[in-house]
A and B are shown apart, each in its own frame.
Chain A
Amino acid sequence: MNAFVTEKTLPPADAKEAAEREVLLRVDNVSLTFGGVKAITDISFDIQKGEIRAIIGPNGAGKTSMLNVINGFYHPQEGTITWQGQVRRKMKPYEAASQGIARTFQNVALFKGMTTLDNIMSGRSLRMHKNFFWQLLWRGPAEREEIEHRRKVEDIIDFLEIQAIRKTPVGRLPYGLQKRVELGRALAMEPDLLLLDEPMAGMNLEEKEDMSRFIIDVNQEFGTTIALIEHDMGVVMDLSDRVVVLDYGKKIADGPPEEVQASQAVIDAYLGVSH
């Protein structure tokens, strides 16, 4: 294991406070409908640089739709998204990727026919530029570029402790490891904002602990801003700096974990309430 992972050092408090003031992404009055179905209604929130922001809510609350809006897979009918100071209504997914938004999926969406190494290397695609003719030759620039990016990828493999499965096709890996490879693939993009859609779904306690540690390490060591959707409330409350709660496509609470936990609207949404 790497030294920098075990000896965790928290960034100085004042630096963290300064970073917290800078807004990385702001969602203003976004509404998304599919025909007559309102997936998201008039939601506004922001994600500050360097924080771990959780999006929670009961099933069908619109959490995944929200992530899909952020990385350009869905185009909202109303509202704007401000990304690093730039206001936009819609963009293509690859534009979001090239501007530094990476994500993982609720159902693992790895490239099944490729090895762990190739999957994580695929995260470097946007940073590799040698054209077709250099690739034909391989010797020279294309090979040098490949090796340069391989180094970065190997750092990620070390970080996630998946050296042993480097050359294994990901289709053969157990579910927990697939989730980890998927995190590695998103990390390889060196994103400014990392969207994690239920990173711990279907994991046992030990795997959840590992994944939580990786998420905290990514946030603190690489300074990556993280937005995550998760159903395990213990994990959400421990990991996140701020939580936004959705229910039926509407925002019902927003704030630090303790505040959200105490909110009557959130308790009603999760436990149900008699009218």
Chain B
Amino acid sequence: MFYREAGQFKTSYKADQALFPILQDRVGLAVILITAFAVIPALANDFFLTSIMIPFLVFSLAAIGLNILTGFCGQLSLGTGAFMGVGAYAAYKLTSIFPDANVIVMVLLSGVFSAAIGAVFGLPSLRIKGLYLAVTTLAAQFFLEWCFIRIPWLYNYNASGAIEVPRREVFGIIATGAEATPLARYFIVLGITVLIAFLMANVLRGRIGRSWMMIRDMDIAAELMGIRPLQTKLMAFAVSSYICGVAGAMMVFFWLNAAEPSSYSIRLSFQVLFMVILGGLGSLGGAFMGAAFIWILPVILKFVPGLLGFDLAAETVEHATFMIVGALIIFFLIVEPHGFARLWQIAKQKLRVWPFPY
């Protein structure tokens, strides 16, 4: 009733292949964007921004990156954490070498380095598929993590072995470092995430996005239709790693302020992979939903016992959160193995015919 496209006629192919051909979707997106850019900054406190929104956006971007590779091109990867780390260390080195340059530009540039490294580790994908490919990306994860620990040049020979983000200003506003306000960080992270998500939506609906999906769905047929498998897969690896690299750089520059090699461990790879699987393979919207579920739900759950008046020890709450989130993951995967994106599609389909579903 509220979600019905009856009467919305498209008279050109241009209108038919728009990103959001249905009016209700466009309104919905506008509401989300207004909320993100105006309502949240106006109402939210620092805790909400730094502990919920900024990590959520960083993880969403990382999930988009992995989704390009795994969800759209069908190449399973467990090296996401390491590729994010490459972005972080590259951005750190870039800001150390060019202290006066715009830090946002440096963060966006750092992705180029992880794209190059991602493409190198994507080379085996020509011959290896599925779980076996996952194992070779696991090699990338361990090798790169080793590099972060053993190559002191990467962290400027700090005694601590960690990278600490220096203070940098963008147009007179402190953007990074401990003094940067959560609001400034939030706007930068939001801007980069929305921009990359939008650009990727464009790529995915065109020739290149289709060539990735062709490789994913039937690689032999794709090859016989003129798709070069190696080039296409390497491009997916490069684009995916670029996005993961930018997410990794944002993670340390606008959220954590400092990072150790262990911040980019296999744990992070799995976390992002779970977001992608739970959100829905092959869906940009699903990446956001998956990130929200895996990151925001535990944070909220921690406050539930307090609000209900239970006085529980911090560890108990922590453990209970783990159990509840784990149970919910299993529950949702049984209900819909294709993730939240598919659930949302089914919901939309039901809404279209509501209240007369026959």
Contact = CB atoms under 8 A, between A and B. Distances in A.
Is this pair of chains taken from one and the same complex?
A: yes
Interface of A: 71, 73, 92-94, 96-98, 102-103, 105, 109-114, 118, 121-123, 125-126, 128, 130, 132, 135-138, 142-143, 145-147, 150-151, 154, 185, 189
B203 A122 contact: no
A114 B227 contact: no
B199 to A, nearest CB: 5
19 contacts: A71-B224, A93-B223, A93-B224, A110-B218, A111-B214, A111-B221, A113-B282, A114-B213, A114-B217, A121-B210, A122-B211, A122-B222, A122-B225, A123-B225, A135-B202, A135-B203, A135-B207, A142-B206, A143-B14
Interface of B: 13-14, 17, 199, 202-203, 205-211, 213-214, 216-218, 220-228, 235, 282
B70 to A, nearest CB: 13
A30 B208 CA distance: 37
A68 to B, nearest CB: 10
Given A111-B218, A151-B13, A135 B210 contact: no
A113 B217 contact: yes
Contacts of A112: 217-218
B14 A147 contact: yes
A146 B18 CA distance: 11
A109 B218 contact: yes
A143 B218 CA distance: 26
A94 B202 contact: no
B136 to A, nearest CB: 24
A185 B224 CA distance: 11
Nearest to A189: B225
A193 B221 CA distance: 16
Given A109-B218, A126-B225, A189-B226, A118 B210 contact: yes
Given A93-B223, A98-B226, A135 B217 contact: no
A154 B16 CA distance: 12
Contacts of B220: 73, 109
Given A136-B199, A136-B203, A94 B227 contact: yes
Contacts of B203: 132, 135-136
A94 B229 CA distance: 9
Given A135-B206, A135-B208, A147 B226 contact: no
Contact of B224 (A103, A121, A145): A103
B235 A132 contact: yes
Contacts of A123: 225
A146 B210 CA distance: 12
Nearest to B231: A94
B224 A125 contact: no
A125 B226 contact: yes
A113 B199 CA distance: 22
Contacts of B222: 111, 122
Contacts of A130: 206-207
A249 B208 CA distance: 40
A111 B217 contact: yes
Q: Which of A71, A135, A154, A189 has the most CB of B within 10 A?
A: A135
Contacts of A118: 210, 213
Nearest to A123: B225
